[in-house]
Structure 1
Amino acid sequence: MEGARDRLDKLVHDLKDVCLLLDGVESDQFAMHDVIRDVAITFAHEEHHVFTTRNDVERDWKDRDKLKKCTMISLPSENTIISQLWPNDLDCPNLEYFNMTYIWNFSFKIPEGFFTVMPKLRVLNLVRLQQTSLPSSIHHLKNLQTLCLDKSNIEGVPIIGKLNKLKVLSLRNSYIKEFPTEMGQLTQLRLLDLSNCRNLKVIAPNVISKLSNLEELYLKECPIQWKIEVLEELKLLSNLASVELDIEDNKVIFPDLKVLVLMNIISRKIWDCQLPSSSFENLKELTLRRCTKIKFVFPYTITKNLQQLQYLEIKDCIDLEEIVAIEEITEAAASVVFPEVTFLELENLPELATFYPRIHTLEWPKLKRLEMKSCDKFKIFNSEPNSLCLDHKVIFPNLKVLELKSSLGEIWNKESSTYSYENLTHLTLFECDKIKYVFPLSIAKSLQQLQHLKLTSCKVLEGIVAPEEGTKAVVNFSFPQVTKVNLLFLPEFTDFYPGIHTLEWPKLKELMVRDCPKFKMISSEPNVPCFDQKINHD
């Protein structure tokens, strides 16, 4: 499945490069210009026998010779073409793709013999199908590889078990109550998505283990009454690379697991300290959301196994106090290294106070993006002696993007290492309501790669660089790469630096200031604490 996604991503990228596709609203979407779309639809029909609503019912749809050549059909919900043609005029022996989405019409029902006329069908997509059972003729689709019945009213699915060439099955948001024994016949299945099936309570025993080629399994937001023997079956799936589950039990081992998403876990811990050292050694992505009773994320020994971890996201775990927990036998000065992590996000963790509650060093040599929001006890960059926080031995040599929302009184202090932030390109602070200054002088002078600076709704922020005792000489600041500065809703903000200084922004292209009533952006008065006459920019 990962290879298929890579090929699709490359295809989309190539089409964007030649302007046949455009960027969509979201990062995982794309768009097409109206003119390109019209040409594509015409070409698809003429060269590949694709039928859509653009085709005339009398001229195209009722021409049996044309319909016998048809390879793809795509129809919206309100269309009545199928009802008009069935049963006499719908004969599609070469059809490989059938898509009918958002079938809101409760009166529409797929006829029982509908699928007998399309033996080559490989992809069937019926979103919001209103009927509660599938037509019996679906078992004729011996070549079907993808079946999508998202948001449908289908309740019983045993007949799907006869589609033994199926590779992708999606029943997201459907009304099924049980994943029955018959589904064990789907031995070619690669992806199974049962997410948000609110009535699904039973996974039949000895079914999951038979899906020997399964690579991705999604079962989040399902009220399944898990039995330990069913969970144990997951260990037999040697190809399983991505799984999303809502479960209470934490004793299942996935030696080849690459993506783990845990949501709404109500147990007090996630990991078993007795797990073999090989457990989770291939894990690349870990997401925890709304695990409301856990006090820590990892036991110290588990961190040694996470050498492939690249993505770590922790949100809405309201009792979480630390990321790594002390164990009975732990070195006096612990060393924690996440050599491959590039993305770290911590959000709404009100009790999180420290990464590890003893003396430690912490290295993130490849971390590029750090987002921290509403973690008001967590002093991530502070270096106070013996403080229970990420201390001065935290290393982020490749950090590029930093986004913070915090009620701490300071982010950095003058003892903070400049080495960890010299590659920073984007800094965003939002609602950091106790911070008076963004940087100490030493950090500010190390930000030679900074490009974007955005400060929003920081109630007591007075300046960007903090003054240092004993500094009387003119201080020279240069930000050679900065192109964009946004200062928004900063009621106490007065100046970049409160002392005499020069300031250079040679590449600055956008300066946005809004609702900063005390800010004197440009002044010619000597020695005033503001952006003075010695600002240089292009």
Structure 2
Amino acid sequence: MIATVLKQRLKDKDDERKRAAVLSQALQQRGKCVLILDDVWEGQEFRLEEVGICLKVNGCKLILTTRSFGVCRRMACQEKIEVQSLPEKETWDLFKETLGHGLALSPDIEKVALSIAKRCAGLPLGIITMARSMRGVNDIHEWRNVLEELENPTTGQRDMQDQVFPILKLSYDRLKDAKLQHCFLYCALYPEDHKIERKELITVFIVEGIIDRKKSMQAKFDMGHTWLNKLENACLLESCEDENGERCVKMHDLMREMALEITKVSPRFMVATGHEKQDGLEWMEDLEKVSLMKCRIQFPEGMSPRCPKLSTLLWSRDHLCEIPHSFFVHMPALRVLDLSYNEICELPNSIENLENLTGLFLQNCYDLVYVPPLGNLMALQVLNLSETSIEEVPQGMEMLVNLNCLYMQGMRNNFTFPTGILHRLSHLQVLRLDKRRIRGVRSGELKDLTLLEEIECRAYDICDFKQFVKSQCFMQLSLCDIAIGDQEYVEFFIRGRYRYTKKDQSARTCNISLVAGDGGNVDAALLPRDIQKCYISCCDEIEYIVRFPFSNEIEVEEDSGEESRCVPFQSLEILILDDLENLRALIKWGRQGGERVIVPLPVDTFSNLKALYIFHCDKIKNLFQPGLLQYLQNLERISAISCSGMEEIIAEDDEGMGACNNNNNNPTTFSLPKLKEFELIYLPLLKSICKGVMACDSIETIEIVDCRQLKRVQFALPLINGQPVPPHALQRIDLATDGEEWWESLEWDHPNDRNVLQPFVKFCKISKARIRLLYEEVTGHEPLQFEIGERSRASRSSFDRRF
């Protein structure tokens, strides 16, 4: 076609290279021009140079339109512009323009016409098609009839079906992958404009058997996200977020109606959701999927739909109070049953007949107290009983040998998890048991779960927990969240997340909270050696993070029988200390033979530490002892926030054992050569950074808020010809809006220090929201939320008062 426009004959050129050369020469002779390739599909991509289009040589600009982002990537588009649906006003303007210039509509017709235009959901093709079909119509009855057809997906509107849907269906047909098409059609089961959580969708894809259940949980979700990305890239689904910031997808209204048109034939769906009509529901024998979400429908006792092919029934968020006892008798193929967010008190016994059921979702059925025996459901892979009021584990759970995921979080009643069940569920990959309500999980029940990747539970006691930590099961976990002890007193609380990378398959990060050992310091024996992130919180017993020398410094490797030195913080990169009421110091120094000699730490201790965050630790007076700094040469960030007793960042000495070469004539220089970020926020007793000076040539940002007793900021500025200059990396110094007077009152080692730093100073409002955001980002939860028992924390509850 391009050759035709350029008046070139290519038919007599058999060699592709010759044709490309002819076209290239013709484009060069034409000079600057714009080529537009309209509606390029997957599989139609090509290398421009191969057909003679060399944009730099020819002086051409290329514009292409496509429904696939994959085409843009493969065609190496430099700039991508996504065409959004038209807003409401532009939709109405296009509708009126297509309807006819100067056409006057009566107020009644205009009101209906507005609703019809809105039903086109901003899709220009749909707007134009509908407007053209209504040209010249001035009968209000006909307008209302069209609107009725559009709002009823079971009848549809002929012009839309004949002209718009076939064009939209091209995107669906070109997927050329039955599983992808299945995933797309599945989204039509949800109500119109519903934001569908990606996690929820992928979980159902797994239990539907679309995703291989033999994969690891991470691999399953990676595949699920990849498929959803493909559907988004093909413009069949839209990306969005819910009110909690969770990643979601949704269907354009016309895409959904097109999908429902497809499911009138094969696969057969019945959808009656939300405000859509439920009159005349037909439980046909060839139905494969049914959705009754939010439709507030109740069925009479004795009803038992005969649907031998039905594989999916979504019946959630329906205010459902009772299900007929015989309802599931004639649904032998049912695989997915979602009854979540309903008001049912008990499940009918006919559920026992669902021997092919792979997913049973009952979460947030707050009134549910009875679940019939589940022993017959041996195909079950996902069972979610979270936020229910059951008082014991359902009978027959030990028979669910194919179970991959068991969720029992946020339970309403206390009960003990019986022994002899978990160890039989050998395919478990995810186990989430309420830490407050469900007690007594023994390590012996867990150690044989060789496929387990994520766990949340309450261990029976500390001995059981230590045994679990030593097991192979613990070492392979990707998430670990364990409380230890009885309900009233929590001694341990561990949360872990290991993240594997292609660069180093053994690398992992672990977020560990509330780990205390004997003597008020962290029990190093409990920490994985390759831990990269450690979060210690809400433990009144902790006085020191670690004591040296370790009481368990030498331990024996079971496999080799050789001794190896335990350096649990060797790989640590992030350390977070939060709400430790009695924390006094990071290190409790040991002594040799009772003498006042500091025992040196193992060489690699804290050698990889990059970030230290400390929140709400009110009894710690000094953040670092001088002897510790030599091990912190990779530290990049220090954040000390709301520590009301902190007086100094670097102590004068190591617990009175002598300072490091500190005298009045030659003040000690402390060096943190990689420090970039330094935050001091609400430290009301902070008097100084250190007694000497800090050399931090790499510092980028300094933030000081509400540290009113701080009189000197002891940074050693670089000198050129005896005059101070700012550190080469310094970008800004943030002070609170009321810090101007404080800034002017600071004492300086050199009279020009203030003038040198003044250009970097910004007086800005450090809001409570900003601090909360930092806290949530670092710790992973909101300041006022608790996950350990029900006791209140004074320091945490005072967060709002402090900020």
TM-score by length of 1: 0.72
Secondary structure of 1:411's match? strand
- Provide the C-alpha distance between the structure 2 equivalents of 1:445 and 1:476, rounded to a whole number of angstroms: 11
Pick from 311, 323, 334 the counterpart of residue 533 of structure 2. Answer: 311
Larger strand share, 1 or 2? 1
Specify which of 477, 483, 489 is matched with residue 263 of structure 1: 483
Task: Encode CA deviations 1:21-50: one digit per residue, 9 max, x unaligned.
Answer: 1355545x02558xx543453344334547
Cα distance in 2 for partners of 1:45, 1:291 equals: 57
Which secondary structure does the structure 2 equivalent of 1:352 belong to? coil
After superposition, the C-alpha distances for 1:182-235 in whole angstroms (9 at most, x for unaligned) are 1100111122222232424232332122111122222233444538xx542222
Aligned partners of 2:401 and 2:426 also within 8 Å: yes
Which residue number in structure 1 is paired with residue 581 of structure 2?
Answer: 350
Aligned to 1:183: 397
Residue matched to 1:80: 296
Matched, 1:30 2:247: yes
Cα distance in structure 2, aligned partners of 1:14 and 1:437? 56
2:329 is the alignment partner of 1:110: no
Counterparts of residues 120-159 of structure 1 (less than 5 Å): 120-152=333-365, 153-159=367-373
C-alpha distance in 1 between matches for 2:288 and 2:641: 54
Is residue 2:752 matched to residue 1:500? yes
Q: Distance in 2 between matches of 1:366 and 1:114?
A: 60
Cα deviation for residue 92 of structure 1 reads 5.0
Question: 1:327 and 1:397, CA in 2 relative to 1: closer, same or farther beyond 3 A?
Answer: closer
Distance in 1 between the 2:231 and 2:574 partners? 28
* Contact residue 740 and residue 763 of structure 2 kept, 8 A: no
C-alpha RMSD of matched pairs (Å)? 4.5
Q: 1:199 aligns with which of 388, 393, 413?
A: 413
Partner of 2:512: 287
User: In 2, are the aligned partners of 1:366 and 1:397 still within 8 Å (CA)?
Assistant: yes
For residues 70 and 249 of structure 1, the distance between their equivalents in structure 2, rounded to whole angstroms, comes to: 48
SS of aligned partner of 1:41? helix
Distance in 2 between residues matched to 1:43 and 1:443, nearest whole Å: 66
1:410 to 648, 663, 682: 648
| 2:271 pairs with 1:51 | yes
Q: Which residue number corresponds to residue 449 of structure 2?
A: 237
Task: Using CA pairs under 8 Å that are at least 6 residues apart, name the structure with larger relative contact order, 1 or 2.
Answer: 1
Cα distance, 1:100–1:350 mapped onto 2, change above 3 Å: same
* CA deviation profile, 1:164-197 (whole Å, cap 9, x unmatched): 1112222122212222551100111122222232
- What amino acid sits opposite 2:647 in the alignment? G
SS of residue in 1 equivalent to 2:463: coil
For structure 2, the 5+ residue unaligned runs are: 1-216, 264-268, 494-505, 555-564, 590-598, 652-667, 768-803
Residues 297 and 12 from structure 1, CA distance in 2 versus in 1: closer, same or farther, beyond 3 angstroms? farther
The equivalent position to 1:393 in structure 2, one of 630, 634, 640, is: 630
Aligned to 2:256, the other structure's residue is in SS state helix
Indicate the residue corresponding to 2:795 in structure 1. none
Do the aligned partners of 1:308 and 1:340 also contact (CA within 8 Å) in 2? yes
Alignment of 1:353-368 (within 5 A): 353-358=584-589, 359=599, 360-361=601-602, 363-364=605-606, 366-368=608-610
In 2: Cα distance, 1:113 partner to 1:454 partner? 67
CA shift in 2, pair 1:235/1:26, >3 Å: same
Partner in structure 2 of residue 275 of structure 1: none
Tell me, in whole angstroms, the C-alpha distance in 1 between the residues paired with 2:350 and 2:254. 36
Matched ranges for 1:219-234 at <5 A? 219-224=433-438, 226=440, 230-234=442-446
Higher helix share: 2
CA distances 1:464-510 after superposition (whole Å, capped 9, x unpaired): 66579x9995422146574794635548631598441455899x8x9
Give the TM-score normalised by the residue count of structure 2. 0.51
DSSP 3-state at the match of 1:192: strand
Could you say which structure has the larger radius of gyration?
A: 2
Q: Which amino acid aligns with 2:238?
A: L
Cα-to-partner distance string for 1:335-365 (whole Å, 9 max, x where unaligned): 8353444443210112122344223256445
Amino acid at match of 1:371: Y
Bigger mean CA deviation after superposition, 190-199 or 16-25: 16-25
Pick aligned residue for 2:521 from 266, 277, 296: 296
Could you say what secondary structure the match of 2:334 adopts? coil
> CA shift at 1:57, angstroms?
2.6
Q: Does 1:513 align with 2:729?
A: no
Q: Tell me which amino acid in the other structure corresponds to 2:381.
A: K
Could you say what secondary structure the match of 1:395 adopts?
A: coil
Q: How many Å apart are 1:433 and its aligned residue?
A: 1.9
Question: Structure 1: where are the runs of 5+ without partners?
Answer: 272-280, 386-390, 517-538
Alpha-carbon displacement from aligned partner over 1:3-31 (angstroms, at most 9, x marks no partner): 2333345556777888931355545x025
Q: What is the identity, as a one-letter code, of the residue corresponding to 1:475?
A: P
Distance 1:224 1:292, change over 3 A: farther
Could you say what secondary structure the match of 1:232 adopts?
Answer: helix
Following the alignment from structure 1 to structure 2, what is the Cα–Cα distance between the partners of residues 163 and 202?
A: 23
Residue matched to 1:460: 709
